[in-house]
A and B are shown apart, each in its own frame.
Chain A
Amino acid sequence: MNPGIQVAPTVDAANPWAMHAVRILAIRREVPQAFTYELAFEDHAVGERFRFRPGQFDMLYLPGIGESAISISSDPDDPQRLLHTIRAVGNVTRALARKRVGDQLLLRGPFGSAWPVESCEGQDLVIAAGGLGLAPVRPVIHHVINRRDRYGKVWLLYGARSPRDLLYTYEYDDWRRADIDVQVTVDLGYDGWDGHIGVVPTLFDRLHLNPARTRIITCGPEIMMRFVIAACLTQKIGPQHIYLSMERNMNCALGFCGHCQLGPAFVCKDGPVFTYEQMEPYLDVEDF
């Protein structure tokens, strides 16, 4: 489905199971149950080689517990400062949440397809994220800010369940200063919240988009992305200009284990980033 897969310099195509040792440099508590880990390669030569594209993920491994696919949430122009935001919900991520600064993990990566930041140059960009879905698009925000003049209008539409579930709130002002129109909404407000209440797709109605020059990047729960897509289609944005990040059971990241298949795609190697045009036949098929 995606013959042009680039193998990252830190992945050995002939032995893609090989891992690199990393140490936890810092841990930041973001929202309830979600933490950002800053990781550093123990072998500096590997760290020097490490590059990732926005939207890619790493396999983080705890021996005896297992591997988990975690998107990279830091600045791709500064690959040595490597951040992963992790929600402790599964077997591996709960064990990760018990790790401390200085502990060792093992890492394979990066893997997967990237957000189309190059082909979006010269266009307006709407980044629509929900919940933890902001983590895989934060590299896009960094990328855009680092070369802001190459993009037209840029919006970030971001929603979470409640104000305390909003990720990276400490960075919104920086992003706004870099001329990104950050609009935030929550499903459930409470005392002291004077922002927007409602789901992310409702924010679309307030935007005046030029459909011919608008590109959409969306990441969040599948149900949210479906409504974002519907809002985009209403605004006459082409299915080939809507990019989404799909979630499936990624075990190996290599297209070997078969668990993450979604129609013709292996989400781990052909994705996780797809166009809506690619996913359209399957998104509404029940239990597919």
Chain B
Amino acid sequence: MSVSTIPVGSTVSLQKLRLQGLIDALTNAGYQVIGPQIADGAVVYDELDSLEQLPLGVIDEQDGGRYRLERSNDAGYFDHVVGPHSLKRYLFPPQETLQQLHLKDGHWNVEPTPIHDKPVAVIGARSCDLHAVAIQDRVFLEGPYVDPGYRVRRERLFVVSVQCRRAAATCFCHSMKTGPRASRGFDLSLTELDDSFVIEVGSDQGGQILASVEGWKASSAAIVDQAKEQSVQLERTMKQRADADPAAGTSRPRQLDTHDVHDLLLNNLDHPRWEQVAERCLACANCTMVCPTCFCSSVTEVADLTGEHVRRERTWASCFTAEHSLLNSGVVRNSTKSRYRQWLTHKLATWIDQYDTSGCVGCGRCITWCPVGIDLTEEVAAIRETAS
């Protein structure tokens, strides 16, 4: 079948090994293709040339402060859920040059840094991460000011999302209403079945790219239903397992009661639980680094030896550091207690005032990558139990 595009909303099927064709089509269209692969014992995003780099038959067991890769019974390419990386790094990079300045004849010339890097296509993003992008869009694009670097990267981003078919014990997207099914925010969406991918077209660009992939065929209604049922079943499982008694030796899968959580936290700024969590928290900032919505940053001046050539480098920052709230008169948040409280009240409460959405998408990364396994769902539940 040779057509120039496949309409938005259509669903097609592709044999599993034909997915290489999608990688190639994106590469040929000028994208740097990024996909999940194993490095240092975790599934991370990196450049993807070949289907063989994908973590075939691997699942990630996650829990508070715990992440282990294991062999899966199913031979899926995408049976892992989310690793430490998210789409954030491709829109709001961990480090970027905002501006370069050159001194000439006593006059500083300011040059915005052109975005030379190729447009990025990410294969493997999950529903939680698509929601996280929509949240960061509100920060960098939808306020009174627009961040120009974010805007360029965002406009060029191509997203191939993947419908989760399992959830880690740390996943709670069902509580945050951000998943498990990705329903928008993708160019193409893959559902992995036993022997094929079912691909939904989410944008015109997605339709054009997919049309150039060899071997796609229109999906039967039965296959489309089967793909959808997979997400429905997963959501049902997530809800049931969070209420059931956990199996011996395992912790209870997460859920978060979001009812009135804004007022709950802001009315309990002096709750004793903040002291208790501060005794465990190392203020290491891991949670803010893996969070797909945390957007704090700092700008550092980098000058050459002459002082006549200066770069302004923006890097991710964290509210868990003293520097974050530094004034000439001192540090505003001078304790781990006050910093954890800032992070959690921002994420779940004041974010709603600022952006009319929670700052949490329920991906569970902050639980997994916390070295001491602090679990925000548990902290909120503890405050709720003895709230004033």
Binding site for B on A (CB under 8 A): 1, 5-7, 11, 13-19, 21, 42, 63-67, 89-90, 104, 106, 221, 247-249, 251-252, 254-259, 261, 263-264, 266, 269, 281, 285-288
Known: A256-B145, A259-B317. A287 touches B108 (CB 8 A): no
B30 adjacent to chain A (CB < 8 Å): no
Judge whether A21 and B99 touch: CB under 8 Å.
no
- 17 more contacts with CB within 8 A, not counting A13-B144, A256-B145, A261-B350, are A5-B143, A7-B145, A13-B146, A15-B112, A16-B146, A18-B110, A63-B108, A63-B303, A64-B307, A259-B298, A259-B325, A281-B266, A285-B269, A285-B270, A287-B337, A287-B338, A288-B341
Q: What is the chain B residue whose CB lies nearest that of A282? A: B269
Known: A249-B325, A255-B145. A17 touches B99 (CB 8 A): yes
Judge whether A249 and B324 touch: CB under 8 Å.
yes
Q: What is the chain B residue whose CB lies nearest that of A260? A: B325
The docked-state distance in angstroms from the alpha carbon of A15 to that of B113 is 12
The docked-state distance in angstroms from the alpha carbon of A51 to that of B139 is 26
Judge whether B335 and A287 touch: CB under 8 Å.
yes
The docked-state distance in angstroms from the alpha carbon of A18 to that of B333 is 31
Judge whether A257 and B266 touch: CB under 8 Å.
no
B106 adjacent to chain A (CB < 8 Å): yes
- Pick from B99, B298, B333: contact of A287, CB below 8 A: B333
Judge whether A269 and B103 touch: CB under 8 Å.
no
Judge whether B301 and A13 touch: CB under 8 Å.
no
The residues of B that contact A252 with a CB separation of less than 8 Å are: 297, 299
The residues of A that contact B108 with a CB separation of less than 8 Å are: 21, 63, 104, 106
The docked-state distance in angstroms from the alpha carbon of A61 to that of B112 is 15
B328 adjacent to chain A (CB < 8 Å): yes
Judge whether B110 and A19 touch: CB under 8 Å.
yes
The docked-state distance in angstroms from the alpha carbon of A256 to that of B144 is 11
The docked-state distance in angstroms from the alpha carbon of A269 to that of B345 is 20
Q: What is the chain A residue whose CB lies nearest that of B113? A: A17
Q: What is the chain B residue whose CB lies nearest that of A259? A: B324
The docked-state distance in angstroms from the alpha carbon of A247 to that of B328 is 10
The residues of B that contact A261 with a CB separation of less than 8 Å are: 319, 342, 346, 350
Judge whether B327 and A247 touch: CB under 8 Å.
yes
B261 adjacent to chain A (CB < 8 Å): no
The docked-state distance in angstroms from the alpha carbon of A18 to that of B147 is 11
B293 CB, nearest partner CB in chain A, Å: 11
Known: A63-B310, A287-B333. A256 touches B148 (CB 8 A): no
Judge whether A1 and B112 touch: CB under 8 Å.
no
A34 CB, nearest partner CB in chain B, Å: 13
- Pick from A11, A90, A258: contact of B296, CB below 8 A: A258
Is chain A's binding surface mostly helix, strand, loop or mixed?
A: loop
Could you show 25 A-B contacts with beta carbons less than 8 Å apart?
A: A7-B144, A13-B146, A15-B148, A16-B145, A17-B148, A63-B101, A63-B103, A65-B301, A89-B328, A247-B327, A249-B332, A251-B298, A255-B144, A257-B317, A258-B295, A259-B317, A259-B325, A261-B350, A263-B345, A269-B143, A285-B270, A286-B338, A287-B332, A287-B334, A288-B269
B140 adjacent to chain A (CB < 8 Å): yes
The residues of A that contact B295 with a CB separation of less than 8 Å are: 256, 258
The residues of B that contact A264 with a CB separation of less than 8 Å are: 350, 353-354
Judge whether A248 and B327 touch: CB under 8 Å.
yes
The docked-state distance in angstroms from the alpha carbon of A114 to that of B342 is 26
The docked-state distance in angstroms from the alpha carbon of A264 to that of B329 is 22
Q: What is the chain A residue whose CB lies nearest that of B314? A: A257
Q: What is the chain A residue whose CB lies nearest that of B148? A: A15
B171 CB, nearest partner CB in chain A, Å: 26
The residues of A that contact B342 with a CB separation of less than 8 Å are: 261, 288
Q: What is the chain A residue whose CB lies nearest that of B324? A: A259
B236 adjacent to chain A (CB < 8 Å): no
The residues of A that contact B310 with a CB separation of less than 8 Å are: 63-64
The residues of B that contact A11 with a CB separation of less than 8 Å are: 145
Judge whether A67 and B299 touch: CB under 8 Å.
yes
Most chain A beta-carbon neighbours within 10 Å: one of B333, B341, B354: B354
B326 adjacent to chain A (CB < 8 Å): yes
The docked-state distance in angstroms from the alpha carbon of A106 to that of B109 is 10
The residues of B that contact A258 with a CB separation of less than 8 Å are: 295-297, 317, 319, 324
The docked-state distance in angstroms from the alpha carbon of A221 to that of B328 is 11
The docked-state distance in angstroms from the alpha carbon of A281 to that of B265 is 12
The residues of A that contact B328 with a CB separation of less than 8 Å are: 89-90
The docked-state distance in angstroms from the alpha carbon of A230 to that of B305 is 53
Q: What is the chain B residue whose CB lies nearest that of A250? A: B327
B114 CB, nearest partner CB in chain A, Å: 12
Most chain B beta-carbon neighbours within 10 Å: one of A11, A64, A249, A254: A64
The docked-state distance in angstroms from the alpha carbon of A266 to that of B353 is 11
Known: A64-B307, A281-B266. A269 touches B144 (CB 8 A): yes
A89 CB, nearest partner CB in chain B, Å: 4
Q: What is the chain A residue whose CB lies nearest that of B356? A: A3
The docked-state distance in angstroms from the alpha carbon of A285 to that of B112 is 41
Judge whether A249 and B303 touch: CB under 8 Å.
no
Judge whether A259 and B296 touch: CB under 8 Å.
yes
B309 CB, nearest partner CB in chain A, Å: 9
Judge whether B299 and A64 touch: CB under 8 Å.
no
